[in-house]
């Protein structure tokens, strides 16, 4: 029984990878994650310092509007779009959201660059606010 449990535990992540829509993977986010890991490699002997470093570097990228799935990204990349372009983008994001996983589903089985439902919600909310004049 233990062997069966271990086997299922090892196979499960492979099965969930197969369910991910490739459109929900941002190559840019994956590259930024890898860059953050490389920048913080100097702390590889101290896990706590390394994690803190990665969080700080990623926060910097987020504030710069580089990470998909954030309001900062939406403000940086969608602000110059016309209302009709924003409406088209909104439809596209809503469709992509339908095939995205929840944040909680990605914690044990992360995929580099994956945009979650919550990420799409952030971009959608920014566009809706823009369209409503906020």
Structure token pair of residue 125: 């909310």
Residues of the chain by 3-state class (helix, strand, coil), percent to 5: 70, 0, 25
Instruction: Compute mean pLDDT per 10 residues along the chain, 134 residues long, and list them.
Output: 50 54 94 95 94 96 96 97 98 96 82 94 98 90
pTM given for the model: 0.80
The size of the chain, in residues, is 134
pLDDT at 109: 83
DSSP 109: S
């Amino acid at each position: 029984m233990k062997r069966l449990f271990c086997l299922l535990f090892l196979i499960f992540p492979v099965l969930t990878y197969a369910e991910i829509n490739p459109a929900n993977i941002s190559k840019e986010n994956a590259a930024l994650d890898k860059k953050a890991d490389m920048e913080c490699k100097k702390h590889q002997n101290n896990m706590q310092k390394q994690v803190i470093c990665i969080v700080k570097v990623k926060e910097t990228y987020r504030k710069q509007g580089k990470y998909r799935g954030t309001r900062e990204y939406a403000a940086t990349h969608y602000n110059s779009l016309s209302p009709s372009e924003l409406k088209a983008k909104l439809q596209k994001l809503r469709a992509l959201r339908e095939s995205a996983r929840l944040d909680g589903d990605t914690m044990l089985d992360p995929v580099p660059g994956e945009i979650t439902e919550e990420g799409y919600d952030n971009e959608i909310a920014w566009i809706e606010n823009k369209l409503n004049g906020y």
